Amino acid sequence: MKQATLWYVTPPTAEQLARLKAFLAKEMGDAEVELTMEKDSSLVSGFVLRTDLKEYDWSMRGRVGQLRNALGVVHGRKPKKTVANLKKCIEEFELTAGAMEYGVVTFVGDGIATVEGLDHACYGEIVTFECGVKGMVMDIRRDEIGVILFGRDTEIREGTSVFRSYRMAGVPVGDGFIGRIVDALGSPIDGEGEIVAADFRPLEMAAPGIMDRQPVTTSLETGILAIDSMFPIGRGQRELIIGDRQTGKTSIALDTILNQKGKNVICVYVAIGQKASTIASLVTTLRNAGAMDYTVIVSSTASEPAPLQYIAPYSGTAIAEYFMYSGRDVLIVYDDLSKHAVSYRAISLLLERSPGREAYPGDVFYLHSRLLERASRLSDELGGGSLTALPIIETQNGDVSAYIPTNVISITDGQIYLESELFFEGQRPAVNVGLSVSRVGGAAQAPSMKQAAGTVRIDLAQYREMEVFTQFSSELDETTKRQLEHGRALMELLKQPLCHSLSLPEQVLLLQGANHQVFSGLKPKEILNLKDSYLKYMRVNFPTLINELEQGTKLKKSQIDRIVAGGKQWRDWLSQEAAEATADDANAPDAVIAVNPEDGADEEA
């Protein structure tokens, strides 16, 4: 015999009771149904009928709850809608009394709830607790499901009812998100009002298939000479930025976002487990540079629960995919996936999943692969949009063989490895040329850049090798000296301050100048400061050449000759300026020549 419960305010009549039992017999497939009746004055009016799996709510309390949900009121907070939208919601509100599948909480704690009774709930489905808090189905077992909570669990306790929403977890998307800061659920947190959404996309989406993609052939310039010359990034690529803490990983991502200004690229920055002060500083930098006009920031700070940190990169990807499928180019930065894996590990351990290597669950590889595989360049039939991913991974003491780093390295199309030793030596960005690679290669590189950067990696490798051996040698031949000077000049040219992006013509000018010994013979400490002088001289005296280099086509011999000639003229001008400055100093009225009585040498006082 099956059981059902009826809560009422006014007892039903005999006729109403008979009709209820007939309905239950039909609904539950059993002629004998034991109906338990309880009086509940909190319903105000009407009744609530509950079976093993469903609940039928036709009470005043239920009607008020439906209206509150329609208006977006939770826990007594003010609705996140304008007065006009509230009026529209009330006018269009329709009361329903449909069946809702429900379950009961058996355990709650640490942002996790275990629920019995929701036998048909799907993985990734949103469920709602009777107090208004929402959660997502994360674990499905034979007799119960595990739910991660998107709010506080202070009002959830054992016995609390949970209802299915029949909707998969997702976030609102649209052009209105550009220039805004939102949380992992897509709600604005910048205090600039409500965001008008154009669509709703689920967090989990299948990655585009092979036939839906096209090869990565268009470059996405970072504005960083060390990266664009040796490790080019293409639109639709996944390039990992990896290194120890405080080695400039976020700085590279930030420079890349700043360099997209005026290039019709939408940027999405996902902050996972970062300090709120760090995110505020980054937002200030973007706003001062005018980059927030094309950037969306998805923030899940370190103070937020692990479930929100877990869904943050999926939310950011859903927002980015809206722009990609509308035919636009998008850059998304995940900062960082190490903290994302830690939050997933915490959730998995609370759900009592078996731990594996480094206590991570067995599906932690799939966690990041299904996220990063969504980065692609779509075929022309699908609009030709692209999604370029720059995931960031933090290593411990340079250990790239740890579990999460090796996983993400195997998923991505290359990595930019930042070395602590180079960073402390003053080489910034501290890119390790030997361990960094871009598996897309020159396919996504401008022909002029490919031509200019042809031997840079080899020259740097030879310089590093010679530098080690010359420490034990006092006499060097002229060829070795020239190679060492050229290598030192390259190392200085690759130094680049933060928020100081270089355009394609500027990068080509620097590399071609270095290849033709324009900077050789200069003191290494002077090259970083003289680099701007060289570029300014070329812009003023060779404007036509700059315009030609903007096209990115393969360099002609005449263009290379003009670059070399411009470099020589700049060196002559530099020498002339130095000579005039020396002469001015010598003719200064306060310059006094004194004689040292000990050695008779002239000194300028």
Tokens 């550009």 sit on residue: 178
Cβ 115 vs Cβ 106: under 8 Å: yes
Listed in sequence order, the residues at least 6 apart from 515 whose beta carbon sits closer than 8 Å to its beta carbon are 452, 455
Cβ 531 vs Cβ 510: under 8 Å: yes
Cβ 212 vs Cβ 179: under 8 Å: no
Instruction: Check residue 472 and report its DSSP letter.
Output: G
Closest CA to 438 of 216, 233, 253: 233
Per DSSP bridges, beta strands 265-272 and 329-335 are: parallel
Which one of 61, 439, 457, 539 is the catalytic residue? 439
Beta strand spans in 188-345 (E): 199-202, 240-243, 265-272, 295-300, 329-335
Collapsing DSSP to helix, strand or coil, 76 comes out as: coil
Closest CA to 309 of 111, 122, 147, 108: 111
Structural tokens at position 190:
């910048």
Closest CA to 209 of 381, 328, 410, 367: 381
Q: What is the rounded distance in angstroms from the CA atom of residue 186 to the CA atom of residue 308?
A: 11
Listed in sequence order, the residues at least 6 apart from 475 whose beta carbon sits closer than 8 Å to its beta carbon are none
Cβ 335 vs Cβ 271: under 8 Å: yes
Reply yes or no on whether 539 is catalytic.
no
Say which amino acid occupies 600.
G
Q: What is the rounded distance in angstroms from the CA atom of residue 486 to the CA atom of residue 41?
A: 87
Structural tokens at position 200:
């709703």
Listed in sequence order, the residues at least 6 apart from 376 whose beta carbon sits closer than 8 Å to its beta carbon are 207, 208, 212, 213, 236, 386, 387
Closest CA to 123 of 143, 109, 138: 138
Q: What is the rounded distance in angstroms from the CA atom of residue 229 to the CA atom of residue 446?
A: 10
Cβ 136 vs Cβ 162: under 8 Å: no
Q: What is the rounded distance in angstroms from the CA atom of residue 346 to the CA atom of residue 133?
A: 21
Structural tokens at position 1:
């015999």
Q: What is the rounded distance in angstroms from the CA atom of residue 189 to the CA atom of residue 194?
A: 10
Collapsing DSSP to helix, strand or coil, 200 comes out as: strand
Q: What is the rounded distance in angstroms from the CA atom of residue 153 to the CA atom of residue 115?
A: 14
Q: What is the rounded distance in angstroms from the CA atom of residue 341 to the CA atom of residue 146?
A: 19
Q: What is the rounded distance in angstroms from the CA atom of residue 210 to the CA atom of residue 571?
A: 52
Q: Which residues pair with 243 in a beta bridge?
A: 394, 418
Cβ 391 vs Cβ 372: under 8 Å: yes
**What distance lies between CA 379 and its chain's CA centroid?**
23
Cβ 197 vs Cβ 170: under 8 Å: no
User: Which residues are catalytically annotated?
Assistant: 439
